[in-house]
Amino acid sequence: MAIKTILVEDNEGIRRALIPALAELANVDVIAIAETAAEGILALASHSWQLAIVDMQLREGTGLAVLRAGQDRAAHQHMIAFSNYATHEIRRRCMEAGADAVYDKSTEIEALFEKCRSYPDGD
To the question of pTM greater than 0.85 for the whole model, the response is: yes
Q: What is the pLDDT of residue 123?
A: 52
SS (H, E, C) the chain: CCEEEEEECCCHHHHHHHHHHHHHHHCEEEEEEECCHHHHHHHHHHCCCCEEEEECECCCCEHHHHHHHCCCCCCCCEEEEEECCCCHHHHHHHHHHCCCEEEECCCCHHHHHHHHHHCCCCC
The model's pLDDT over 92-102, given as tens digits with 9 standing for 90+, comes to 999 999 999 99
**Among 3-7, 62-66, 83-87, the least confident range:** 83-87
* Domains of the chain (ranges, CATH numbers): 1-76 (3.40.50.2300)
